[in-house]
Chains A and B, each alone.
Chain A
Amino acid sequence: MTIETGLLAAFAAYALIWILLGGYLFFIDRRVRRLERELGTLRRVPGLLPDHESGAVAKAGPTW
């Protein structure tokens, strides 16, 4: 194996690391956007989110 092969392997490994980590951040971002869309829909339901600023959403609690 030459030095070039070793360096190429090292750079390929680093590129793959950042593709994986970047991909995960992209996945999180997509879920945040979907959540924002769902919240937008919920805001149109009358009386469901009466006082968003007071933390009514935060106090709502989990499903189970």
Chain B
Amino acid sequence: MINQSTGRTILGILSFLAILLALALVFLYAPLAADPLTGRALPEQKIFYFHIASAWNGFLGFFLVFAFSIAYLWQRARRWDRLATTAMEISWLYFTIVMVTGPIWGRVAWGVWWTWDPRLTTSLVLWLIATAYLLTRALVHSGERAAIICAALGILGFVDVPIVFMSIHWWRTQHPVLITTESVGLTSPMLVAFIVSLFAFTLFFFYLLWIRASLASAEDMVAHLQERARERL
């Protein structure tokens, strides 16, 4: 039987190896994309592999927050709130990566850092919801009150996820649409690099979730012990 600490270490090593493999595939195996009109090489497309992987994990984090928030409001058990906060923290981190890497690509491909495109705008709204959630958590001192407010915010915030995802289909956008139900606009080596990147980032997501949830649980125990210590003194 593997204990929690060994399990975390194994997951950490596995995700580190997967990320190394993804880096090697992205930079050494996947060919440079080419402009279909001019044939010019597009090295900035390499950003795509981890930009999409981060966005996918950001969505996954929001889904977990949604599920844990419902569980918290249902059962009012502290562990659900702890897990929701942890998932939101990591989701925010991944969405920050999306919000940082996207404009770098946009500056090279479009010539601008930012444009009020539907995909970009809805993504910014989602990032702001995650920021609001974490600020509420930090600023509202009553634990139970903060948990209820954050659970509501987590459930309402999840509504934006399908809007972000579908924005490129619902509205006119200049954001690239590579993967549709009919086709995948990637060559086979690119697809392999993309799938491995997605897997590596998801593994790392769960590693972060595990260590952060363990830390949050330990912090709660110490807070409880501090309360008991104050009663004794």
List A residues at the B interface (Cβ < 8 Å): 1, 3, 5-7, 9-10, 12-14, 16-17, 20-21, 24, 28, 31-32, 35, 38-39, 42, 45, 47-49, 57-58, 60-64
Contacts and interface: CB of A to CB of B under 8 A. Distances in A.
Contacts, number: 106
Interface in B32-59: 41-47, 50-51, 54
From DSSP, what is the main secondary structure of chain B's interface residues? helix
Question: Most chain-A Cβ atoms within 10 A of its Cβ — which of B41, B43, B144?
Answer: B43
A45 B108 contact: no
A42 B50 CA distance: 43
B169 to A, nearest CB: 26
Interface residues of B, number: 44
B116 to A, nearest CB: 22
B225 A9 contact: no
B224 A63 contact: yes
B21 to A, nearest CB: 15
21 contacts: A6-B44, A9-B44, A9-B104, A10-B43, A10-B45, A13-B47, A13-B51, A13-B104, A16-B101, A20-B96, A28-B212, A35-B218, A48-B225, A48-B228, A48-B229, A48-B232, A49-B225, A62-B78, A62-B220, A62-B224, A63-B227
B105 A13 contact: yes
Contacts of A48: 225, 228-229, 232
Given A10-B43, A48-B228, A48-B232, A62 B221 contact: yes
Given A38-B226, A49-B225, A63 B220 contact: yes
B144 A57 contact: no
Contact of A63 (B41, B42, B43, B223): B223
